[in-house]
Amino acid sequence: MTARDGGQRTAGGSWSRRGVLAGLVAAPVLLLAACNDNADSGSGGSGSGGASGTPGPGGSGAPRTSAAVITVTPADGATGASFSEPVKVTVTGGTLGTVKVTDSTGKELAGQLSADGTGWTSATAPASGTKYTVAATALDKDKLEADANAVFTTATPANTFVGYFTPEDGSTVGVGMPVSINFSKPISDRKAVQQAITVTAEPGVEIVGHWFSSTRLDFRPQQYWAKGTKVTLKLRLKDVEGAKGVYGTQSKDVSFTIGRAQTSVADLAAKKLTVTTDGQVSAVYKISGGAPDHTTWGGKMVISEQYTQTRMNSQTVNLGSEYDIADVPHAQRLTTSGTFIHGNYWSSPSIFGGQNTSHGCVGLQDAKGAQDSGTDGYKFYKSSMIGDVVEVVNSGDKTVAPDNGLNGWNLGWADWKAGSAV
């Protein structure tokens, strides 16, 4: 083909270069026209604000948006939100569908939908110092759905209290062991705190709490526990306002078991200790109690601590320098004020069963070093456990105060129940 033939189609039906270029230029115009045709077809997208939308009538126009508007309290992004008020979700222009509130572990906060479907309120307040996520949906009258998502974090209280409890979790104790809780801060709302604590037993028995002071709450049944009873303490004190601006921190379960049934009676007139185990007298020991000028408390006293050996110094009980014994054997505490039942190696054997010579404790004959298994002090100690009851009679002194140690058994049942806040 010569140069002057470039604009003509050849005999074989092919096109000249100018014709090919013309075809390439025309093609994009057709493609653009096709794209423009699709854009005018009327298909719609999602509405704003999390609300679902649908096209207008006839498949054209702006998307329709749900009229339902959801509000979450605390608001999205809130930090330091209240942990004493419930979470609330409300809707205007519609009714709520689903509401889900979860903490960072995935645990849901249960709640209740109002009868008209326009509000949801959590059954309890959220926990302090916790991040929560809220997801809610609603429908308007045209069944268009709206949704809302929020994340908030609750405040952490600046002033808190805890309850120090006895006995220990998993322990086996005697039939006289109460549940005793000492609070780290004075409690003014005793009802709120006591309602957050439950004590149950298997087999079941009525258990009542008694406030000895603003910092001490004990629980016990009317009579000593039955042997083999399993007792469970449930502390649900977290975020409970025990005093103005002072909140609990604990959510804990504690269980203990009652062992064999053993009680002892220390008759200081007869100067003998009679031990009864599971309904049968298991031992009788000679003892020596408080001298006439240092009489022993009377009443029912619960063993609260045990020491194979311990130091006893008269200055700690306001008796000056009358004694200081570094290695008192087999000592078991009966009162907070310093009454023990313990072994005695320094006195003449003749006083046991014959004379009351102590400064208020109950003594049994024992050996220095606490290793002689043949002594009465050793035997009684080995047969005892925390929670056993030692009742002192004929001591010449008044009954021990019920809050002096774990000794609430010295209150009658009516008086004990009168000390409950619920």
* Contact criterion met (CB below 8 Å) for 176 and 208: no
The one catalytic residue among 210, 330, 342, 359: 342
Distance (Å, whole) CA 412 – CA 94:
60
Radius of gyration of the chain (CA): 41
Is 35 part of the annotated catalytic residue set?
no
As to burial, measured by CB atoms within 10 angstroms (0-12 exposed, 13-18 middle, 19+ buried), residue 382 is exposed
The one catalytic residue among 210, 330, 359, 361: 361
Is 361 part of the annotated catalytic residue set?
yes
| Structure letter (DSSP) for residue 1 | -
- Encoding tokens for residue 41? 């077809």
Q: Is 239 left (phi over 0), alpha (psi -120 to 50) or beta?
A: left
Distance (Å, whole) CA 78 – CA 116:
28
Distance (Å, whole) CA 174 – CA 193:
27
Residue with tokens 């006995």: 167
Strand order in the sheet with 246-248: 160-161, 246-248, 241-243
User: Which residues are known catalytic residues?
Assistant: 342, 361
